[in-house]
Amino acid sequence: MGSVNEYLSGVPVPAMARVRQRFPDQRLADPAAALRRELARPEVRGTIRPGMTVAVTAGSRGIDCYVPLLRELIAGLRDMGAQPFVIPAMGSHGGAIAQGQQALLAGYGVTEESVGAPIRAAMEVVQAGTTPGGEPVWVDALAAQADGVVLFNRVKPHTGFRGDYESGLVKMAAIGLGKQRGAEIVHSGGPSAMARRVREFGCAAIRQGKVLFGVATVENAYDKVAQVRALTAQEIFDQEPVLLNQAKELMPRLLAEGLDVLVVDRIGKNISGPGMDPNITHTYLPGAPIPEELRAKRAQRVAVLDLTAETHGAAMGIGMADVTTRRVMDKMDFDATYPNCLTSGTTVSAKLPMVFDSDRLAIQAAIRTLNGADWSALRMIRIRDTLHLGEIWASEALLPELEAHPAAEVLSGPEALPFDEMGNLL
């Protein structure tokens, strides 16, 4: 790409300053102890009979205190007389194969040794019932063979739709517990129907699929557990929307908007389902039922520089970037990426943006393609990823408004971004 690199060599990259963003930081001092108290509720304990086999779902990425909370849940079930085991509940993730899903759990630290229970992975499903419209509701065959199921998940805003139930226990029942076949049928209605179909299939699975209770966490803007609840199957229907509203209030965001360029150091499935959380980057999929005022907040150009190691080559969301690096392409695993697209019926999230040899060149390309932009007053932000927004880098043009923002603190004067001799950020 010698001629391309030469073409971009004169594009100036703005000096950047470190900026601290402050958000409400309520968090539990001991999430495991809080869960222990929740499990002691008579309504929860009353769902367990001694000797029951109980399947516990696991599968969402990036949950704070994931292993300690799962371990506490397993211990609590044993204390009630149950015989718990863990099942991957993640739809088509992990290449839509049992070994891949178990490997993903291990990547999250969830192993038989760490949580104190067997992990049983399979992709076979059985029909648990039907939706009100008569469509089949599929659930993991191992879960169906157990005497009961306990759902475990974080409740948070979904990345592609709005509804009473977004990411949480109901979605875990609809898509996670349904494995690839269940995920595919829920997605078959297209993006505009996702909120309704998650509600219909998830609620039906909870009512008909042996769900005893669910454990839900809510995290603050720093991805720390702010609340943990154990909810009976019936309580899930009323209480999950309440937890969702709390999660929305606690979400972080970029305090400056109207960006020319957003640089995202890394994306991955452990960061967000679509690699980077569109609730922060506003890189929503086309056709997703998202208000236009939110779509309008997307930066004119988004540069993605790397994949996380924990994503194991799954590059979902790369198609929502405008430019990326050869490093991302070298790490991308099609077997880990494409099953998600084939299941959801979405091709855009895995399409390839323009590819450049280094971080510097990718950023320069993002700037160069801004027709009519004033390069001397470029509005640019760089973030590590969408899970870490406590500290960001902002271009000089953004500093006056950030200095005036009560939740922002400029930590350093603007300086040139540190690139190594290959043009990659240090």
Where do the structural domains in the chain lie, given as residue ranges?
Answer: 2-23+253-410, 31-250
- Those residues whose C-beta lies under 8 Å from the C-beta of residue 71, and which sit 6 or more positions away, are 32, 114, 115, 116
Confidence of residue 231 (pLDDT cuts 50, 70, 90): very high
214 token code pair: 């669910």
CA distance 354 to 376: 24
Neighbours of 241 (CB within 10 A): 17
Q: What is the pLDDT of residue 320?
A: 96
Nearest to 274 by CA among 283, 262, 286: 283
- Most confidently predicted of 52-66, 82-96, 323-337: 323-337
Quote the pLDDT of residue 137.
Answer: 95
The string of pLDDT tens digits covering residues 43-58 is 999 999 999 999 999 9
So what's the pLDDT on residue 189? 86
Give yes or no for a contact between 155 and 128, defined as CB atoms under 8 angstroms apart.
no
Asked whether 236 and 170 are in contact (CB, 8 A), the reply is yes
pLDDT category at 286 given cuts 50, 70, 90 is confident
The answer to whether residue 326 scores a pLDDT higher than 90 is yes
Spatial distance between the Cα atoms of 4 and 23, rounded to a whole number of angstroms: 41
Q: Give the pLDDT score at 97.
A: 87
What's the whole-number mean pLDDT along residues 90-113? 85
pLDDT at position 126: 94
pLDDT score at 101: 87
Percentage of the chain modeled with pLDDT above 70: 100
Render pLDDT for 162-177 as a digit per residue (tens, 0 to 9): 899 999 999 999 999 9
DSSP annotation string for 96-119: GSHHHHHHHHHHTT--HHHHTS-B
192: confidence class by pLDDT, cuts 50, 70, 90:
confident
pLDDT of residue 91: 83
Is 31 a residue whose pLDDT tops 90? yes
- What ranges in 117-168 are assigned the alpha helix state H? 141-145
Candidate from 29-38, 291-300, 392-401, 408-417 with smallest mean pLDDT? 291-300
Give the CATH H-level superfamily of domain 31-250: LarA, N-terminal domain (3.40.50.11440)
| Count of CA atoms in the C-beta half-sphere (13 A) of 340 | 25
Other residues' Cβ atoms within 10 Å of the Cβ of residue 291: 9
| Residue 233: predicted pLDDT | 96
What is the pLDDT averaged over residues 296-320? 95
Tokens of 200: 């219909």
| Alpha carbon distance 406, 272 (integer Å) | 28
Question: In this predicted structure, what is the pLDDT of residue 147?
Answer: 97
* Confidence band of 108 (pLDDT split at 50, 70, 90): confident
The answer on pLDDT for 280 being more than 90 is yes
Whole-angstrom distance, CA of residue 333 vs CA of residue 330: 8
Mean pLDDT calculated for residue range 77-89: 96
pLDDT for 103 equals: 86
Asked if the model's pLDDT at residue 94 lies above 80, the reply is: no
- Which tokens belong to 75? 């211990």
Q: Nearest-CA neighbor of 235 among 218, 252, 253, 212?
A: 212
The tokens describing 29, both together, are: 């001092």
Give the model's pLDDT for residue 361: 97
List C-alpha distances in Å: 210 to 85, 89, 207, 248, 274. 15, 15, 7, 30, 30
The encoded tokens of residue 281 equal 């980057």
Q: What percent of the chain has pLDDT over 90?
A: 80
pLDDT at 71 over 80: yes
